[in-house]
Amino acid sequence: MKQMNVTNPILSGFYPDPSIVRVGQDYYMVNSTFSYFPGVPLSHSTDLIHWEQITNILSTKSQLNLTNAPHSGGIYAPTIRYHNGTFYMITTNVSHGGNFIVTATNPYGPWSDPCFLNSAEGIDPSLFFDEDGTCYYCGTKGRREGAAFFGDNEIYVQEVDLTTMQLTGESYAIWHGALKEVEWPEGPHIYKRDGWYYLMIAEGGTGLNHAITMARSKNIKEMFEGCKRNPIFTHRHLGKEFWAINTGHADIVETEHGDWYMVLLASRPCDGYCLLGRETFLVPLIWEDGWPVVNPGIGLLDRVVTIPGKASSTLVEFTSVESTKVQADVQEFDIQFKDYHPTCRDIKENFRQKELPPYFFYLRNPQENHYETGRETGLRLYASDVPLTAEDSPTALFLRQTSINYTLGTKLEATLSNENSEAGILLMQSNHFHYRFCIYKGKVPMVVLISCIDGKEQLLIKRELTKLPSYLYVRENGLNLSFSYSFDGTEYETVATSIDASILSTERAGGFVGTCLGLYTYTPSKEFGEDFADFDYLHYQVM
């Protein structure tokens, strides 16, 4: 069988908490999105190497309410599973409603409205379908007999009635984790192999001490026994400067050829700072003496993983033997999006199509009348009076930063009638940590650079001009940002260099997200439609 190489991460940028399922020859993977909308990107692959985001599972407000959600609120830790012709995605909206399930018979959708599990406590839900068809909910919450310390959790299971989509029967605590006095046993998944139920979880928090542990039992409703060599995978002992840190929150999958692989999150630091958030990585595993051995002989993430496989088509296809109709349904979709890859090095979007590619997203539920696509002039953004520091939805459109070396450019024409109105490029880690590089109305036309650190805004650069420029350009090299503008798109004037990018890191800003790059407009006026900007294109290129 042909050997193929995959470079880690397999999904670059803000793609945390991966969960994966195989259906026939096809693999589907989901990730957390927190306060961004639409929620839960669904990526597809036929070889575990080439991945394409094919849709977002939660694409309507009825599916995903993010009103006033904190930046690291919203959607936590989705799990995707497949049973008897139906896809199930279960997750937690920590800001509105708790744990819920959505379903679809076609991975491209439509996906159902949420079925909230009224009695399901805690977060990080997962589903397991036993051989007799019984569905079990598996989640994490504080110990029922009383936690000894903050983060002293239990993993529990309870049957799910798939008719009512509610928990039924008794709840059983099955494990409290392997690591003594280490917080947050979470992210559980159950598998069955050779008559054993296996439980894999994350422990130690989401930072440097993150680890993956495993336990097993012959009875899913009894306490599980931990693997003697736990944790089965971690980078916690390698220090802050290793090329990949914070490893944890994993899921595993068996290929059609009987090989096993783990997907997990990790972060790549640059001089001690992680700007990209938590990304998705791939590592092989084998089974020895009834337990998994992750990347045997190495025990760490490799930058390049060699796996057996077949050549992958660039087209997204649903090739499950259980569904032949779906493949025809998605052919038109493939024509539009077949060239996109989530980790691609060059995205140039001109917004001439009415429908945005699936890798664009908003902060919380957008005010839809503030966005117009499919225009001859590109993307029109009507200015909002929602400040970027508010836990609300500003007029802004984003994609994920996937490299610490990139360029980002746009051409825009703005109608700014209100003093202090803005339009331009936004580099956002959170409401309280971001940069804005924009044209600015003011008393005279100008281009400005504004930083926001810990919620406090500061005007770093102000360049007064005779007219507003048409082109804005950002370059990042490591932790250094530079900002330029142009009137004609040929000659650029640099207004700032060596601007500190570390404020866009998890280490500075906290939280669970990665840096997102976008276009925005803002006005202090509440009059809708008075100020707007037309963006001819957005060009993101990894260097």
- Token pair 């939280």 is at which residue? 511
pLDDT at 24 over 60: yes
Q: Residue 446: left if φ>0, alpha if ψ -120 to 50, beta else—which one?
A: beta
The rounded distance, in Å, linking the Cα atoms of 390 and 378 is 27
Task: Tell me: cis bond preceding 231? Omega within 30 of 0 counts.
Answer: yes
For residue 344, what pLDDT is reported? 57
Q: How far is CA 203 from CA 135, 167, 209, in A?
A: 25, 25, 8
pLDDT in tens, 42-87: 999 999 999 999 999 999 999 999 999 999 999 999 999 999 999 9
Catalytic annotation, pick one of 17, 203, 422, 534: 17
Alpha carbons 240 and 246: distance in angstroms, whole number: 9
Amino acid at 261: Y
Is 17 assigned a catalytic role? yes
**pLDDT 10s digits, 482-539:** 999 999 999 999 999 999 999 999 999 999 999 999 999 999 988 777 899 999 999 9
Beta carbons of 277 and 14 less than 8 angstroms apart: yes
> Which own/partner pairs from 354-358 qualify as long-range (CB within 8 Å, at least 24 positions apart)?
356/397, 358/41, 358/53, 358/54, 358/55, 358/56
Q: Which H helix or E strand runs over 331?
A: helix 331-337
Question: Among 385, 350, 368, which Cα is nearest to 535's?
Answer: 350
Judge whether residue 468 has pLDDT over 80: yes
> Which helix (H) or strand (E) covers residue 326, if one does?
helix 325-329
Helix or strand holding residue 336 (H, E) = helix 331-337
Locus of tokens 């008559």: 195
Distances from the Cα of 494 to the Cαs of 108, 307, 441, in angstroms?
A: 44, 45, 20
**Taking the C-alpha atoms of 240, 245, 249 and 250 in order, what is their torsion angle to the nearest 10 degrees?**
-150
| SS3 state at 325 | helix
Q: What is the mean pLDDT of residues 232-251?
A: 97
pLDDT average, residue stretch 393-404: 97
User: Which residue is associated with the tokens 């009638």?
Assistant: 417
Q: Which tens digits make up the pLDDT trace of 115-136?
A: 999 999 999 999 999 999 999 9
Q: Which residue has the higher pLDDT, 318 or 251?
A: 251
**Annotated catalytic residue: which of 186, 279, 349, 422?**
186
CB atoms < 10 A from the CB of 256, how many?
9
Range with the poorest average pLDDT among 175-184, 197-206, 395-404: 175-184
Percent of residues, the chain, with pLDDT higher than 90: 85
- Those residues whose C-beta lies under 8 Å from the C-beta of residue 141, and which sit 6 or more positions away, are 121, 122, 123, 153, 154, 156
Selected residue with higher pLDDT from 351 and 146: 351
Please report the pLDDT score of residue 339 as a whole number.
33
User: Position of tokens 């001009």?
Assistant: 465
Give yes or no for a contact between 8 and 269, defined as CB atoms under 8 angstroms apart: no
Cβ 347 vs Cβ 540: under 8 Å? yes
The answer to whether 13 and 246 have CB atoms below 8 angstroms apart is no
- Cβ neighbours around 321 below 10 Å, total: 8
Domains of the chain, start order: 3-337 (2.115.10.20), 346-542 (2.60.120.200)
Q: What share of the chain is helix, strand, coil (3-state, %, to 5)?
A: 5, 50, 45
Name residue, tokens 């927190």: 34
Whether residue 245 contacts residue 273, with contact meaning beta carbons closer than 8 Å, is answered with no
DSSP state of 207: S
Dihedral pair phi/psi, residue 315, rounded to 5°: -85, 140
Q: Does residue 327 surpass a pLDDT of 50?
A: no
CA distance 63 to 84: 23
DSSP assignment of 219-236: STTS--EE-TT--SEE-T
List the helix and strand counts (H, then E) for the chain.
3, 39
Residues counted in the chain: 543
- Based on the residue annotation, tell me whether 186 is a catalytic residue of this protein: yes
Parallel/antiparallel/unpaired status of strands 39-45 and 36-37? unpaired
pLDDT tens for each residue of 273-325: 999 999 999 999 999 999 999 999 999 999 999 888 654 433 333 333 333 33
User: The pTM is what?
Assistant: 0.92
Which pLDDT belongs to residue 309?
Answer: 61
- Return mean pLDDT, the chain: 92
Residue 363 has pLDDT above 80, yes or no: yes
Structure-token pair, residue 160: 């799910």
Task: Say whether pLDDT at 193 is over 50.
Answer: yes
Alpha carbons 482 and 497: distance in angstroms, whole number = 4
Structure tokens given for 288 = 């020895």
Burial class (CB in 10 A: 0-12, 13-18, 19+), 14: buried
Question: Any idea which residue has 């919450």 for tokens?
Answer: 141
Check: CB of residue 75 under 8 Å from CB of residue 93.
yes
Name residues whose C-beta falls within 8 Å of residue 173's C-beta, 6 or more positions apart in sequence: 143, 144, 154, 155, 156, 223
Q: How many CA atoms lie within 13 A of 391 on its CB side?
A: 12
Find out whether 190 and 180 touch, Cβ atoms under 8 Å. Answer: no
